[in-house]
Amino acid sequence: MKFFETAKEARPSDRTICKHVKVGRILEEIATQFRLDDPSAHITWTDEKVEYLIKKFERELTTLKLLDTSEPTLHLAQYTTSLYIYEIALYHHVNWENFKNPFTEETFKASTSQTIAGRSHAECIVSCKHAVVETLRIFLDFSSSLLYMMPVHFGKPGFFIYFLSAILGNG
């Protein structure tokens, strides 16, 4: 990685790939720490280490400076990773039965009637909503050829459906 990031022979696309690899590592760490891939784990906003981990992941993502490039897939990586970081803020007083198939309008409405647990919780929800809007804005500007070349860490379709319904549906 260091060679491709710093060598004179490295092409701009090499540096872009390195950043995507680093984003992939952050995404894996988020999933591991918040146990987002484990349906039996019910980590919520009230868990002690959640706020600490959110700050940690924010710093790691900021360090990559993804928005300082002209590469649109890195901009998308910034906001989709932000969504993944802040997703946990939506799990305050969650009825986990709402996350089981079949997904209906009623289950989404029930899952969005949560109370705010304080200032940092509210800030995370606002950041999450901002990330949803930016993700959609960037994604909708992509050409179909670019969509076929996107890195695999953008492949969470349920991710977008949940946030569109749960967050944007609330205005």
**pLDDT digits 0-9 by tens, 108-166:** 666 555 676 778 888 888 998 999 999 888 888 877 777 666 665 555 444 444 444 44
Residues 37-74 have pLDDT tens digits of: 776 777 777 777 888 999 999 999 999 998 988 888 88
3-state SS class at 142: coil
Please give the Cα distance from 166 to 162 (Å, whole number). Answer: 6
Confirm if 156 and 139 have CB atoms less than 8 A apart.
no
- The residue range of the domain holding 116 is 2-170
Per the structure, how many domains does the chain have? 1
Using CA atoms, how far apart are residues 65 and 68, in angstroms rounded to an integer? Answer: 5
Residue from 152, 132, 141 nearest 78 by CA: 132
**How many CB atoms are closer than 10 A to CB 1?**
11
